[in-house]
Structure 1
Amino acid sequence: MRIADIGTGTGILLTDLAAKLPKSVQLDEVPEHLIGAYDLVSVRHFAFVLQEHELQSAVKNLFRLLKPGGYLQWIDVDVSSQRIEKARPEINGEPQERIMNLFRGNDTRLSSAWVPSLSSRFSGAGLINVEVDQRNTPHYIGQQLFESGFLAVEALTRNNHLDDDKAREIEDIFRDSARVTRQGSYAGLTRYTVIGQKGL
Structure 2
Amino acid sequence: MATEAEYRPFRQDMDAAARYLSIHPPLPRHLTTKFFTNMLYLQHWMRYTEVGFLIHPSVHLPTPGLKVADVACGTGIWLIELAKQVPKDAQLEGFYISSAHFPPKDELPENVKLGYMDMMQSVPENLLAQYDIVHVRGVVLYVFNDDPSELLANFMVLLKPGGYLCWDDLDLAAHNPKTSDPNVSHEIADKIEEFGRMWFKTQGLPFSWLRSLDTTLTSHGLEALVPHSQTVSNAGARPWTLMQPMANRHFFENDINTMCEAGKMPPGSPSAEEWREMSEGLIEECREGVRLLMDIVYIVGRKAVEQK
TM-score by length of 1: 0.84
C-alpha RMSD of matched pairs (Å): 2.6
The residue aligned with 1:191 is 296
1:117 is paired with a residue whose SS is helix
Q: CA deviation at 1:91?
A: 1.4
The residue aligned with 1:136 is 231
The residue aligned with 2:113 is 26
Alignment of 1:118-133 (within 5 A): 118-128=213-223, 130-133=225-228
CA distance in 1, matches of 2:272, 2:143: 31
CA distance in 2, matches of 1:85, 1:168: 26
Q: CA deviation at 1:61?
A: 2.7
- Residue 95 and residue 161 in structure 1: after superposition, are their counterparts in 2 closer, same or farther (change >3 A)? same
Gaps of 5+ in 1: none
Q: Which amino acid aligns with 2:275?
A: I
Q: CA deviation at 1:167?
A: 4.8
Alignment of 1:1-200 (within 5 A): 1-18=66-83, 22=88, 23-27=110-114, 31-52=124-145, 54-104=147-197, 105=199, 106-109=202-205, 111-128=206-223, 130-138=225-233, 139-155=237-253, 156-159=255-258, 160-161=260-261, 166-200=271-305
Q: CA deviation at 1:141?
A: 3.8
Gaps of 5+ in 2: 1-65, 89-109, 118-122, 264-269
Q: Which amino acid aligns with 2:158?
A: L
CA distance in 1, matches of 2:217, 2:272: 44
Q: Is the Cα contact below 8 Å between 2:69 and 2:131 reproduced in 1? A: yes
Q: Which amino acid aligns with 1:161?
A: E
Q: Is the Cα contact below 8 Å between 2:146 and 2:204 reproduced in 1? A: no
Q: CA deviation at 1:55?
A: 1.1
Q: CA deviation at 1:198?
A: 1.4
Q: Is the Cα contact below 8 Å between 1:63 and 1:198 reproduced in 2? A: yes
Higher relative contact order (CA 8 A, sep 6+): 1
The share of aligned pairs that are identical, in percent, is: 24
CA distance in 2, matches of 1:101, 1:184: 20
CA distance in 1, matches of 2:256, 2:153: 37
Q: Is the Cα contact below 8 Å between 2:135 and 2:167 reproduced in 1? A: yes
CA distance in 2, matches of 1:78, 1:178: 22
- Residue 77 and residue 152 in structure 1: after superposition, are their counterparts in 2 closer, same or farther (change >3 A)? same
- Residue 89 and residue 2 in structure 1: after superposition, are their counterparts in 2 closer, same or farther (change >3 A)? same
The number of residue pairs the alignment matches comes to 198
